């Protein structure tokens, strides 16, 4: 289905029948991607006395409870409420859902025993300022990112300077294939989160961070249309489904 989207007085032609899903599905399994030292998600039928909410057990419908953590169990989008004492909801922060996104691939650099994504890596990978969303794929890019157990692995992270640079380019929506833009064990400093949201001064309340995506190698670096969808949770974060569309013409 070919359609034309107009954004900032520019028209973009995309094919809605060819979505490029960069979300990680959530499943009740120890093969589900996991971070932050938590148990696996649970998807279980409601039990009320002898009644079990499962068709295979005699019920008329499947009727499951789902227990999960959006930050640790899959692709999720968060707002500044993730780091504030005052409550802010992602459902209020994200009110538009189509954006111009630049996909980039970066190889984190060794620094003091860590692997970091620096300002220069980001700066050298963004060819223009035509986008308001940035999708970061880290290299190498094995498909075990779909079920990786990240706890205690000291994953790569953005430096504060890199996050500030991304903010200053006008990027409103940052997506990355890691559990966090920050170091796993950073004593609660959250330097990249704070820099991107410009916290605590002049906070960017409509800016979002999406973590634990997976960008397949078949998706090439470049400009795309991003459809960023969340569930309507009144929470600092929600499970989300970012989908890219190749730009056919503009």
Per-residue pLDDT for 129 more than 80? no
pLDDT at 47: 98
pLDDT at 8: 78
Give the number of other CB atoms < 10 A from CB of residue 209: 24
Neighbouring-strand partners of residue 158: 117
What is the largest distance, in Å, between two alpha-carbon atoms of the chain?
A: 62
pLDDT at 149: 98
Per-residue pLDDT for 200 more than 80? yes
Per-residue pLDDT for 9 more than 90? no
d(CA 36, CA 144): 18
Domain ranges of the chain: 2-24+73-249
Task: Considering the domain delimited by 2-24+73-249, tell me its CATH architecture.
Answer: 3-Layer(bba) Sandwich (3.50)
**Mean pLDDT for the chain overall:** 96
pLDDT at 4: 86
What is the H or E stretch that residue 77 is in? strand 76-78
Token pair, residue 179, equals 């559990």
Tell me the pLDDT tens digit for each residue of 58-113.
999 999 999 999 999 999 999 999 999 999 999 999 999 999 999 999 999 999 99
d(CA 121, CA 104): 10
Per-residue pLDDT for 6 more than 90? no
Token pair, residue 135, equals 């999708």
């Amino acid at each position: 289905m070919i359609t034309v989207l107009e954004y900032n007085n520019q028209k973009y032609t995309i094919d809605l029948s060819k979505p490029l899903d960069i979300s990680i599905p959530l499943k009740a399994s120890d093969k589900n991607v996991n971070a932050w030292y938590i148990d696996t998600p649970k998807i279980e039928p409601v039990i009320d006395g002898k009644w079990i909410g499962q068709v295979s057990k005699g019920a008329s419908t499947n009727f499951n409870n789902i227990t999960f953590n959006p930050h640790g169990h899959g692709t999720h989008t968060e707002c500044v409420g993730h780091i504030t004492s005052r409550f802010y909801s992602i459902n209020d922060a994200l009110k538009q859902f189509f954006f111009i996104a630049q996909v980039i691939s970066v190889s984190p650099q060794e620094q003091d025993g860590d692997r970091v994504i620096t300002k220069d890596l980001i700066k050298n990978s963004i060819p223009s300022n035509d986008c308001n969303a940035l999708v970061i794929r880290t290299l190498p890019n094995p498909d075990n990112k779909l079920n990786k157990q990240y706890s205690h692995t000291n994953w790569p992270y953005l430096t504060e300077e890199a996050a500030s640079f991304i903010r200053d380019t006008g990027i409103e929506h940052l997506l990355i294939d890691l559990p966090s833009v920050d170091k796993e064990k950073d004593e609660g400093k959250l330097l990249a989160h704070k820099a991107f949201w410009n916290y605590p001064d002049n906070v960017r309340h409509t800016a979002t961070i999406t973590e634990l995506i997976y960008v397949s190698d078949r998706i090439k670096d470049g400009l795309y249309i991003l459809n960023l969808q969340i569930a309507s949770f009144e929470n600092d974060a929600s499970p989300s489904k970012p989908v890219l569309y190749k730009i056919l013409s503009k």
